[in-house]
Structure 1
C-alpha cells in the first residue's frame, strides 16, 4: 500500500533546565561556524493513546501539532539505541481523526482499542540553528512547556528543557554539546519525550523482559526466550507488511512459523490446551501470509527462469502473461492479508501471545534444568526427521515422492528451529545442528518450489493456449523445473549422508 507520509530518522538529546539557566555560547561547539538569529514559535500539541497508554508503554508518541513550520500529525517510533523514526501526515480537517497511514504503523499495538487525546502541551520554543561551513548541523531549541493531562486524574505541570536535534551534523556534536551543558550544570532530561514528562508517574504496562536461558536454568526459559524474539519480530514486521515493504511478508511468516514450530517441540513445558490453541491460530495466520508470499516467490522464480532462456526459445508474450497472472495473484492475496491484519481474530492472537509471555502456563517439567530436558526434546525432532527421510527411501509408489520430500522438509525446518532455540544450552553443537537442518530445508525448499512452479506453468500454458498464444516456452520451463527437482533431490541425499548427530550433551 503506497503512502505519501514523510519518513525520517530523528536523533536528538533533551536536557532538564532551570528557568534561570542561561544558554551557553553555542558557537564555541566544534564545527559550528555561526549561530543564526533565534526564531520563536508557539506550538500546541495534542497527544493520542489508548486508555491503557499502550503507545507510551512501547515508547511511541502520536500527536497532532499546530504552530511552527512542521504543523501536522507526528508519529515517533523507537529506532536503534538513541534515535526515533518520525512519520508525518498533514493536519487534515478532523482534529481527532488519526490519519490511516499513521494508524497502520501502530495497529499491532493498538489493535481494536480506540485512540483518544490524553494530553495537551503548549510550548514556547526558541530555535537556535547551528551552521557549519557545509550547511546546517543542528537545531538547539529552548522550550518552555505547559502540559495538561486529560481524562481520569487530569492535572497540569510546566517545565523548561533544551533539545538539540541533528540535521546534517555528526553524533560527535551531540557529545560535545553534552559536555558543554554539563559544565553549565545541566544534565540530560530523565524523560525521553515531553509526553513522558507530562505523564509523570502514571503506571505503564511494559512488556515482560525475556528470560536469559542457561544450561542449569529452567528449561522453560529456552522456549520463552525464543518466543519473545519471534513475537517482537512479528510486531516489527506487521506495519512493514501493511505498507508493502519488500521482504516484510517473508519475515513475518517466518516468525509465525518459528513460534508454531517451537511450541510443538517444547509443548511438554507448557499447558497443552494453550499450546494447541496457539498453534492452530498461528497455522491460520501463516496460511494467510503464505498465499501472498508464495505468489511473490513464484513470480520472481519464473521471471528468473525466463531471463536465462535464449531469446529464440521465448515464444510469445511469456513475461507479460507471468506478470499479468502472478501480480494479480499477489495483489489478491496481499489484500486478504491486509484485511486479516485488521480483524479481531488476529488481535486476539496477539493478545494470547502476550499473555503467554507475561504469565506462562508452565508444567512441572518446565522448572527442570535445561541441560537435562532440552536435548531430549531436540532429539525427538531428530527422530521425526530420520523417520521422514526413511519414508522417502521406502516409497512403493513413485507418485508419492514429492509429498514425502515436502514432509521431510517440514521436519528439517522444525528441527532447525528447535536447535536455534536450544543454542544457549547446546552451544556449538546446537548451532551446527541448526545449520545442517537449515541446509536440508533449503535444498528441499528448492525442490518444493519446483513442484509448485510446475503446477503454475501448466496453468499459465493452458491459459496461453486458450488466448491463442504459443505455449511452447511454458512447456519447456516445466521440463527444466522437473530436471531441477531431480537435482535438488540428489543434492539432498548427499547432504543427508553428512548430517551431524542430534546429541547436544557434552
Structure 2
C-alpha cells in the first residue's frame, strides 16, 4: 500500500520496531477505532549457499498469508510468476524440498548446488478501521511489525514498523502529523526489497578491459552472450517457443568468438570451452532440427493443391515428428542437467570474470579485430569456392555447401565482435555475408528435408496411407536445391566485392 500522487489516498510510513499505531483520538470525524485480529504474513526465500539463483535473476519463495501456503518462482523476463502449492502435510516451519516443477527450472542456475532457505520476512499485521459517527468506515490504518532475517552461515536480523494509511484527502494531513508524532517518517514498503538487497551476491571488483582494445571488445561480446546462454537455459526448461534454437545460437556465437580470436586468449583455457560448446550444440541439434523439419513439412503440405495432398499426410507427419521431438527434447534436457554442462557454465563465468588475455589483446580494437575477420573471410572464401567448383561430384557438393555454411556463420559472428569498433563497414559486410549464408542454410534444409520426406513416404506406406504428397514435396525440395546452387555464384560475387572488405585490410 503506497502512494505517490495526490489522487491516491494511501500514505506509507516507516519507523523503529517499537513504534505503535498513530493515535487517532480527537481526529475530526473519527468516532470509533475497530481493530481486526492480528495476522502473520511470511515470505521465505530459497537459494544456494552462494546465492547462485539471485545472481541469475531468479527468485524462489514460499509465501504464507491468508491463502494456502504456496511456492512462487520469478525468472528474468517473466510475466506472471509460477505458483505451486506447498505440501499441506508439511510440518509448520519445516525446511521444504523444492517441488519437482521448480527444481527442474532452476537446475541450470543452481549448478548442482543444494537449494535451501536463505532469508525470511515475517510481518505481523493489525488493521484498524476508523469509523465515522454512523459506524461506516472512514479510513484504514494498517500497522505492520516487520522482522527480516538472513539464514545460513551469515545471519542478520532487522526489525521495523510500517504503517499504511488509506484515508480521504481531508483527513490525510492530520493522520500524517499523528504518524510523525509516533516517530514514523514517510517511506515506501520495503520488506521484500530489503531482503533482496541483503541476499544480493557480492561481485568481485575486477576492472574490465577497455572496449577500445581488442581484448576488451572480445570480453564484452563474450559476456553478453554468456548472459544470453543463461537466459535461454531457463526458457528451454520452461518449454518456451524457439528457446532451443536461441540457446544453440548463443552457444555458437560464444564458440565462434573463441575460435576466431584465438590469438587474443590463452588457448589452454579456451580450447576446452570451444569443445564443450561444440558438444552442447550437438546435443541440442536433434530437438532444433525436428522443430524446423516439422514446420517445413507441414507448411509444404498446406500449400499443396487438394488434388496433390492425398490421404492423411499431415497426420502421418505429426505422428512421426511427435516421437522424434519427444525423444530429442528429453535428450536436450538431459544434456542441460549433466555435470559437463554445469562445468561448462562455470568455466564461461570464470572466463568472463577473469579473461586470460594475451599481450596482443592490448592492441587497438579498430586495428586488430579486422585482421581476425579477414582470416575468417579467407576461410569462408575457400569453402564457398570449393562448393562452387563445377568439377565437384554431386555426392560431395551437399557436404561442401554445408561446410561453407558453417564457415559463413563463424565469419558473421567474428565480424560482430568487431562491429562496435569498426562501425558501418563491418555492419554492411555482415549483412552481405548473411545473404549468402541464408542461401546456404536453405540448401542444407532441403538436404535434410529430402531425407525426412523419404522416411515419411515409407512410413505412410507402412501405415496404409498414401505417401504421394511426400514425393511431391521431395521434388519441390530437389528443385529448390538446384535453384540455390544456380543463385550462389552471383550471391558470392556480391558478398566478396573488395569495397565491402576494404576495412579488413
TM-score by length of 2: 0.80
Cα distance in 1 between the residues matched to 2:80 and 2:226: 21
Structure-to-structure mapping, 1:180-259, within 5 angstroms: 186-187=186-187, 193-196=193-196, 199=198, 204-206=201-203, 214=211, 217-259=212-254
Cα distance in 1 between the residues matched to 2:13 and 2:57: 19
Structure-to-structure mapping, 1:103-122, within 5 angstroms: 103-122=103-122
Displacement of 1:100 in angstroms is 2.1
Deviations 1:348-377 (CA, angstroms, capped at 9, x unpaired)? 110010010111111111111111210100
Alignment match, 2:455: 459
Please give the secondary structure, in 2, of the residue aligned with 1:311: coil
Displacement of 1:491 in angstroms is 3.0
Please give the secondary structure, in 2, of the residue aligned with 1:504: helix
The 3 A distance-change label for structure 1 pair 268 and 302 is same
Asked if residue 144 in structure 1 is aligned to residue 145 in structure 2, the reply is yes
The 3 A distance-change label for structure 1 pair 106 and 126 is farther
Q: Which moved more, 1:229-238 or 1:488-497?
A: 488-497
Cα distance in 2 between the residues matched to 1:78 and 1:295: 27
Gap regions ≥5 residues in structure 1: 1-13, 24-36, 130-138, 165-180
Deviations 1:425-449 (CA, angstroms, capped at 9, x unpaired)? 1100111111112222211111110
Displacement of 1:204 in angstroms is 2.2
Q: CA RMSD in A?
A: 3.4
Alignment match, 2:124: 124
Displacement of 1:293 in angstroms is 0.5
Alignment match, 1:158: 159
The 3 A distance-change label for structure 1 pair 145 and 494 is same
Cα distance in 1 between the residues matched to 2:57 and 2:232: 17
Alignment match, 1:34: none
Alignment match, 1:449: 445
Kept in 2: contact 1:76–1:86 (CA 8 A):
yes
Alignment match, 2:71: 73
Alignment match, 1:63: 61
Asked if residue 427 in structure 1 is aligned to residue 428 in structure 2, the reply is no
Kept in 2: contact 1:208–1:357 (CA 8 A):
no
Please give the secondary structure, in 2, of the residue aligned with 1:403: helix
Q: Which moved more, 1:272-281 or 1:293-302?
A: 272-281
Please give the secondary structure, in 1, of the residue aligned with 2:439: helix
Alignment match, 1:277: 272
Asked if residue 409 in structure 1 is aligned to residue 405 in structure 2, the reply is yes
Deviations 1:461-488 (CA, angstroms, capped at 9, x unpaired)? 1222233332322222111100111222
The 3 A distance-change label for structure 1 pair 189 and 45 is closer
Displacement of 1:188 in angstroms is 5.1
Alignment match, 1:346: 341
Asked if residue 299 in structure 1 is aligned to residue 291 in structure 2, the reply is no
Cα distance in 2 between the residues matched to 1:413 and 1:260: 11
Alignment match, 2:8: none
Q: Which moved more, 1:219-228 or 1:444-453?
A: 219-228
Kept in 2: contact 1:208–1:358 (CA 8 A):
no
Displacement of 1:161 in angstroms is 4.5
Alignment match of 1:54 (pick from 24, 44, 52): 52
Cα distance in 2 between the residues matched to 1:157 and 1:273: 48
Gap regions ≥5 residues in structure 2: 1-10, 23-34, 130-139, 166-178
TM-score by length of 1: 0.80
The 3 A distance-change label for structure 1 pair 191 and 378 is farther
User: If you compute each CA radius of gyration, which structure gives the higher value, 1 or 2?
Assistant: 2
Alignment match, 1:169: none
Alignment match, 2:502: 503
Cα distance in 2 between the residues matched to 1:209 and 1:307: 56
The 3 A distance-change label for structure 1 pair 162 and 401 is farther
Alignment match, 1:491: 487
Alignment match, 2:394: 398
Structure-to-structure mapping, 1:313-332, within 5 angstroms: 313-332=308-327
Cα distance in 2 between the residues matched to 1:449 and 1:332: 21
Cα distance in 1 between the residues matched to 2:148 and 2:283: 44
Kept in 1: contact 2:68–2:85 (CA 8 A):
no
The 3 A distance-change label for structure 1 pair 114 and 299 is same
The 3 A distance-change label for structure 1 pair 505 and 16 is farther
Cα distance in 2 between the residues matched to 1:296 and 1:207: 41
Kept in 1: contact 2:13–2:164 (CA 8 A):
no
